[in-house]
Amino acid sequence: MTVQNAYAGAYGKGKVKDRTGRIRVRVMTGIAMLSAVSYVLSFLEFPVPLSPSFARMDFSDLPALIGAFAYGPLAGLLIELVKNLLGLLSTSTGGIGEIANFLMGASFCVTAGLIYQRHKTRKCALASCIAGSLVMGVVAALTNYFILLPLFESFLPLDQLIASFAELIPFIRTKLDIVLLNALPFNILKGLAISAIAMFIYKSISSILKTAK
């Protein structure tokens, strides 16, 4: 190998490393931006339809889903993690609510991100969103049964908790009914609503994320 070829090879490798470094910085910047937006959105809560007033919802999983599409499922997981770690600064549940929120949000965006990563087409994006919503519904059902409802029971007796849901959905008679008739369908619909927003704005948002410095 001549000195000239050796220099060209070293220069080429240097350019590759530099380009890789810029991509890594861009991805980390994008994840940080989306995490910040997700944290802010977590404060914009709304009443949950057909649920007592203490049940609230937000759209803070939207940035995580966009991050999972743009950078991969690990990015979505990190966004959910950062959001909930920041949430610990002002938690009123001793961290239990943040753990539950992380489990539900991560199951949603990681599932969608894994499927979308295989084939980055609109059809696959739609399928990934539906699958992610279904998985989040199941995880939300388990999380509500074993984590959130026991948390609510700490300040509201179980029979009163069930009665508060039964006022809105007469078929509810047990804690399992709350999960199957409220938590499961609601979280599936929530996932689908977030997915619809993501599908609508992703194209314009992704162009910003790909040029973030």
User: What is the average pLDDT across 6-30?
Assistant: 67
Q: How far apart are CA 79 and CA 66, in angstroms?
A: 10
Alpha-carbon distances of 176 from 52, 141, 184, rounded to whole Å: 16, 9, 10
Q: What is the pTM of this model?
A: 0.88
Residues contacting residue 91 through CB under 8 Å, at least 6 positions apart = 97, 98
User: What is the average pLDDT across 3-32?
Assistant: 68
At 181 the pLDDT is 95
Q: How many CA atoms lie within 13 A of 16 on its CB side?
A: 6
Split at pLDDT 50, 70, 90, the class of 1 is: low
For residues 158 and 205, is the Cβ–Cβ distance under 8 A? no
Taking the CA atoms of residue 71, residue 207, residue 24 and residue 127 in that order, the dihedral angle to the nearest 10 degrees is 10
What does the mean pLDDT of the chain come to?
89
Compute the chain's Rg from CA coordinates. 21
Domains with residue ranges and CATH for the chain? 3-44+55-210 (1.10.1760.20)
Split at pLDDT 50, 70, 90, the class of 211 is: low
Six-digit token string for 167: 């006022």
Q: How far apart are CA 147 and CA 87, in angstroms?
A: 17
Strand, coil or helix: 47: strand
User: pLDDT by residue (tens digit) across 117-147?
Assistant: 999 999 999 999 999 999 999 999 999 999 9
**Where does residue 165 rank: exposed (0-12), middle (13-18), buried (19+ CB within 10 A)?**
buried
Task: Count Cβ atoms below 10 Å from residue 213 Cβ, excluding itself.
Answer: 7
At 7 the pLDDT is 46
Q: Report how far apart the first and last C-alpha atoms of the chain are (Å, whole number).
A: 38
Q: How far apart are CA 73 and CA 110, in angstroms?
A: 5
Backbone angles phi, psi at 45, to 5 degrees: -95, 150
Split at pLDDT 50, 70, 90, the class of 175 is: very high
Helices (H), 42-88: 61-71, 73-87
